[in-house]
Structure 1
Amino acid sequence: MCPMKSITEKLTYPGTTIDQVAAMLADPTFREQVADYQQAERSSAEISGTGAGSTARVEIVHGTEHVPSFARKFVGDEIAIVQEETWTSDTHADVLVTIPGKPGDMTGTFDLAQVRDDVVETVQLAVKVNIPFVGGKVEDLIAGLLSKAFRAENKVGQRWLAGS
């Protein structure tokens, strides 16, 4: 059995404060704009509060036309990704990402830090897929998709925070 795949992304929001980034992440409209930017087939965002004790549940559904054929037979015609965040402070969230009905999950953290005039969000996730023989390939695929999704969120977030 191979070790699970992990991803780390450092996302910078220039010229902002933690309060501004936290407010953005707590806005369902922002989450919907991220899904639109990713050309999701459909999405939803349920967010409760901001800061410590807040939660977010974001579901984004993508088509699988760009998914390799070996993985498409496991995920079907579409792939739903559910991201659940539990914010334990204004700057830290525990994260669980699942693909409903499919084996495996992604667990990790989001951390916000003020670095001079910027906010840096560090995303750390471990990807685990329980499919014999091809689990490692599927883990690599999912890790790549998630990294791309977080970078897309960062692009949308930079525009959002700049007021455009």
Structure 2
Amino acid sequence: MSKRIHEQLTYPAATTGQVAAMLADPAFREEVATYQRALRSSAATTGTGDARTARIEVVHGTDHVPSFARKFVGEEISIISEETWTSDSHADVAVTIPGKPGDVSGTLDLAQVGDDVVQSLQLTVKVGIPLVGGKLEDLIVGLLTKAYRAENAVGRTWLAAT
């Protein structure tokens, strides 16, 4: 069993080049983590242009995680996202939660739509634990959806200031 994330986020009055540059900037990713009230975070980008990889690690507390899930994730939950960009408008995405069962993979695409950029996320979340896997998948879908929406909120402000 698996769950899917289909999310479309808009960056008004921007170009795909501007959004791609923002997503490649570790300072932007750190600002997103601060906005999310992460306990700790790190961000790094290697390579340039069409051959770059962004690695973002964000560590959250589990105060708001349901009790059934807390025994699987512990006191903190570390989420590592790796984006492998093959162009300024496409990345393959792999998300891991170290030491925890599950797999998240998919794509991130940027498209110019008039004066705006639309970011499309297509991710599949799989947790292979009998009985509670579906509930954990729902939890991960919720966490990732909130994270990408937070990134979009920070990104709108970031782009407006540049």
Give 1:30's aligned residue.
Answer: 28
How does 1:1-164 map onto structure 2 within 5 Å? 3-163=1-161
2:105 maps to amino acid: T
User: C-alpha displacement at 1:105, in angstroms?
Assistant: 1.3
Please give the alpha-carbon distance, in whole angstroms, between the structure 1 residues aligned to 2:88 and 2:55.
Answer: 17
Task: Provide the aligned length of Structure 1 versus Structure 2.
Answer: 162
Q: Report if the CA contact (8 A) 1:22-1:51 is conserved.
A: no
Structure 2 unaligned runs (5+)?
Answer: none
User: Structure 1, residues 100-130: CA drift from partner, whole Å, max 9, x if none?
Assistant: 0111110000000000000000011000011
Q: TM-score, normalised by structure 1?
A: 0.97
User: Structure 1, residues 16-43: CA drift from partner, whole Å, max 9, x if none?
Assistant: 0011001100100000000000000000
User: C-alpha displacement at 1:90, in angstroms?
Assistant: 1.3
Please give the alpha-carbon distance, in whole angstroms, between the structure 1 residues aligned to 2:160 and 2:25.
Answer: 15
1:72 maps to amino acid: R
Structure 1 unaligned runs (5+)?
Answer: none
SS of residue matched to 1:136: helix
SS of residue matched to 1:67: coil
Higher strand share: 2
Please give the alpha-carbon distance, in whole angstroms, between the structure 1 residues aligned to 2:85 and 2:136.
Answer: 28
SS of residue matched to 1:142: helix
2:5 maps to amino acid: I
Please give the alpha-carbon distance, in whole angstroms, between the structure 1 residues aligned to 2:46 and 2:30.
Answer: 15
Q: CA RMSD of the aligned region, Å?
A: 0.9
SS of residue matched to 1:103: coil
Q: Flag as ranges the 4+ runs of structure 1 deviating above 6 A.
A: none
SS of residue matched to 2:161: coil
Please give the alpha-carbon distance, in whole angstroms, between the structure 1 residues aligned to 2:86 and 2:18.
Answer: 18
User: C-alpha displacement at 1:51, in angstroms?
Assistant: 3.0
Please give the alpha-carbon distance, in whole angstroms, between the structure 1 residues aligned to 2:6 and 2:149.
Answer: 11
User: C-alpha displacement at 1:65, in angstroms?
Assistant: 0.2
